[in-house]
Chain A
Amino acid sequence: MTVLIDRARNALGPELAGPLAAFVAVMVVFGFAAPNFFSRATFGSVAFQLPELGLLTLAMLLPILTGGLNLAITFTANMAGLTLAWVLQSQGGVDAGIGAFVLGSILAIAVGALSGLIMGLVIAYTKAHPILVSLSMMIFLRGLGEFLTRGGDVSGIPGFFAAIGYGSIFGIPVPLLIFIACVLIWQVLLTRMKLGFNTYMIGSNIEATRYSGINTRKVQVLVYTLSGAMCAVAGIIMLARFNSVRVGHGESYLLITVLACFLGGVNPFGGFGRVIPVFVALVVLQLLSSGLNLMGANQHLATAVWGILMITVMILRWLAGRLKFLNTKRG
């Protein structure tokens, strides 16, 4: 039994305490404040909105764990979405077949991975700061995308693809299923694979990791490539949900993904952080926004409340650390 608990703790990590507490608090507060909070509608809206932000957060998580950042996530997603949209368009738009969709998706993911690969190579070889490199990539992709689309929308997708955006399997929305699959992949990657292990080590001390015989450049390149590929998955889901893609779509998610990582207990300087607490943090953010929506609050107010939640979490963490410190001092 204790072995099981130990295992569970290892898989989830102590970082889970904060997000779980926030989860319970949100459930309790809205449970009282909004009588219709525990309804299908609430959870339906959460289930459909969670994946976009969630996938982008997963894309942000890996670079943060290495001590870096990927500011290009939203525009990489846009670029990948555009790639798929163009392939569909060239194959008949709304009449495009499954083959076109598969080919387009593969190309979209390749485009996303390529954007990450370039960033990874530059970061690994020039040792330029990831913020600057990904910022450059973000501006490049934005400019390129706006040039290619002339600032407009690319729309027209076949019906079966739109079903991916809105359909359900056994009552679970398809985007949510895709997101959960990606969460599990990231979980396995980070807890069971060499790449994940090395990601954490690099985040704490890249030179010591290199001295230990790890190919740190390869790890950095792979991390950004995977991050780019994950952006592409987000881009595909966004296209399916909105039936169109426009450069700049989802731009506001960028900083929210960073905050969601921190809310999930990820160390902003790298080296520490786990997938499941980040997942719970995302659910909390989405519940909060849906709950406020339900109470008739303005969408902008919901964003403000996210900010307050983050600040509260930082203060509570500081207090918890302080309490621990005092306890050890007292013995």
Chain B
Amino acid sequence: MADQALDGATSRPLLSLRNTNMTFGGVKALKNVSFEVLPGEVHCLAGENGSGKSTLIKVITGVYKPEAGAVIDYDGQSYSNMSPVTAQAGGIQVIWQDLALFPEMTVAENIAFQTVIGRWPRLVNYAEMRRVATNALQRLGVTLDVDLALHHFPIAQRQIVAIARALVGEAKLVFMDEPTASLTQSETDYLLDIVRNLSASGVAVVFVSHRLAEVLEISSRVTVLRDGALVGVYPTKGLTQSRITELMTGKTFDYSVLHRDLSKSPVMLEVEGLSRPGEIQDVSLAVRRGETLGITGLLGAGRTELALTLFGMRKPKSGSVVLDGKPVRFGSNRDAIAAGVAYLSEDRLSLGLIQPQAIADNMVIASLDKILSSGFISSDRKRSLVNRWIRDLGVRIGKQDDAISTLSGGNQQRVAIAKWLATDPKLLILDAPTVGVDVGARAGIFDIVSKLADSGLAIILISDEVPEVYFNADRVLHMAQGRIVGEYAPGATTLQAIEEAVYA
């Protein structure tokens, strides 16, 4: 990597942007930004949500026209703005997070459909499509059955298909938007290998990712944006995750492990030998009042399944659960909520919150009985309940009746936490509470978690990012294949030791 960066420094940039300004409805989305990519380089574009990353990509690909004065030098040509056609013809390709593939069509069709569009005769040459697709996959060093419909493949392979499609368009510069957001660790490693191959074959890759570990692993240089302005361009060598976070947010964070003495605190939850075939095996654990228990492990380790079993949405085959001294057996999540268990879903978009509906409605949905007055919903009670939680958790909103989808990830998550706190829980299970939340806003979420623990709540914090549980939980459990395979105390173990155990 380092060698490559050195090589690159002497070669002419493939893409160079200067004086790029962009305004939307009075808001400056890009402020005099410059950006440069070398041929064959893996470059990372880092920044929080709303920092202007997507806008910048859209300017480069010709979706948006920058304000006058911008200069875009690409592949020896100079432009004042790009058009989608010139960008495509010049070999600029974007792989968006949602991939924009056709799940019902075959791999060959997904990769090569562009080659048959608008050609005479207007017939589809399937042999040609298969050949083109196989070639593109070969360049990536991958073999896939090109005749199989795409929905048969896991997400990681679909990602590969999206990359292969970009290669068919003779790509010189590929943007990848959060390519690893829904991949497991081994899938991510696989994808990073592919990106390396791509870069070695002379294609420049611009990587947009929230996962800073990958950024450091794959790229040679990092461009950091904050609030639409360029913070700087840094060689990856010598950068640390916390340094990038500081650059992205402009804040410094205090990383230290928790030291709370909970030995005298009564046990809130005690689980013995909980099993559900194929999902969780013989899980035993205990959480005290005021304690935050971290659970980490790879995707598919059974973390969410354990949480759903504790929340009454899956029935255990064997084992016992004792909550606050009383043995419990839940028929549904309604029983669990009534008994004082709350579960914040890992999937905020489709399970955690009802995105099109109002902020206020999302906040009261789990505790409707509290806003009834003689059997009818009292809008005054609802309003005061919502106002209280907005104030207590520092949620930034416009109007209570705005759709929850208008809020940022961090503010949505605060609303989701408020929704569960409104049910007066004894045990709060937080499943991946920082997914889709900006680095800066994550600290705010964990501040809340810490205060809740101090107020006597028992908390289970689930995350696949080991540092998150390491710095925010009193104890850390490691789950793999449905079992608890390790327990660590962050004060007594190093972060690296746990990471090695988890990612091994």
Residues on A facing B (Cβ under 8 Å): 10, 188, 191-194, 197, 200-201, 204-205, 207-215, 271-272, 328-331
Contacts and interface: CB of A to CB of B under 8 A. Distances in A.
A204 B337 contact: no
Interface string B317-347: 0000000000000001110110000010100
Contact of A213 (B337, B351, B355, B401): B337
B239 interface: no
Interface in B338-390: 343, 345, 350-357, 361, 365-366, 368, 372, 375-377, 379
Contacts of B365: 197, 201, 209, 212, 214
B22 to A, nearest CB: 13
Contact of B376 (A192, A210, A215, A329): A192
Contacts of B361: 197, 200-201
A211 B351 contact: yes
Contact of B357 (A200, A211, A329): A200
Nearest to B338: A213
B334 A215 contact: yes
Given A201-B365, A209-B365, A329-B25, A193 B353 contact: no
A330 B24 CA distance: 7
B350 A207 contact: yes
A213 B369 CA distance: 12
Contact of A208 (B354, B375, B377): B354
A331 B354 contact: no
B419 interface: yes
A53 B207 CA distance: 58
Nearest to B345: A211
A194 B27 CA distance: 41
23 contacts: A10-B379, A192-B377, A193-B375, A193-B377, A197-B365, A197-B368, A200-B357, A201-B357, A201-B365, A204-B357, A205-B354, A205-B355, A208-B345, A208-B350, A209-B354, A211-B313, A211-B352, A213-B333, A213-B337, A214-B334, A271-B357, A329-B24, A331-B24
A199 to B, nearest CB: 12
Given A207-B351, A331-B27, 7 more contacts: A201-B357, A205-B355, A205-B356, A211-B333, A212-B365, A215-B332, A331-B24
A49 to B, nearest CB: 33
Given A201-B357, A208-B350, A208-B351, A194 B368 contact: yes
B398 interface: no
B26 interface: yes
Contact of B366 (A200, A213, A331): A213
Nearest to A330: B25
B333 A208 contact: no
A170 to B, nearest CB: 29
Nearest to B343: A211
B424 to A, nearest CB: 13
A214 B333 CA distance: 9
Nearest to A210: B333
B34 to A, nearest CB: 26
Nearest to A7: B379
Grouping DSSP codes into helix (H, G, I), strand (E, B) and loop, the A interface class, with mixed when no group exceeds half, is helix
A197 B336 CA distance: 21
A204 B352 contact: no
A250 B372 CA distance: 40
B328 to A, nearest CB: 15
B30 to A, nearest CB: 16
B363 to A, nearest CB: 11
Interface in B263-308: none
7 nearest CB pairs, A to B: A331-B25, A331-B26, A213-B337, A192-B376, A212-B365, A205-B354, A212-B366
A106 B466 CA distance: 63
Contact of A205 (B25, B332, B350, B423): B350
Contacts of A204: 354-357
A94 B343 CA distance: 62
B353 A208 contact: yes
B372 A194 contact: yes
A204 B351 CA distance: 11
Nearest to B376: A192
Contacts of B345: 208, 211
A216 B374 CA distance: 23
A191 B378 CA distance: 10
Contacts of A212: 354, 365-366, 419
A197 B377 contact: yes
Contacts of B423: 213
Contacts of A210: 333
B27, B379, B423, most chain A CB atoms within 10 A: B379
Contacts of B379: 10
A184 to B, nearest CB: 14
B322 to A, nearest CB: 21
Contacts of A200: 357, 361
A271 B377 contact: no
Given A197-B361, A201-B365, A208-B354, A213 B372 contact: no
Contacts of A214: 334, 365
A210 B343 CA distance: 12
Nearest to B348: A208
A307 to B, nearest CB: 29
Contacts of B352: 208, 211
Contacts of A331: 24-27
Among A191, A205, A208, which residue has the most Cβ atoms of chain B within 10 A?
A208
Contacts of A328: 25
A271 B356 CA distance: 8
B25 A194 contact: no
Contacts of A330: 25
B433 to A, nearest CB: 15
Contacts of A211: 313, 333, 343, 345, 351-352
B419 to A, nearest CB: 7
A168 B6 CA distance: 92
A205 B347 CA distance: 13
Nearest to B27: A331
A193 B353 CA distance: 21
Interface in B6-49: 24-27
Contacts of B343: 211
Contacts of A329: 24-25
B354 A201 contact: yes
Contact of A194 (B26, B377, B419): B377
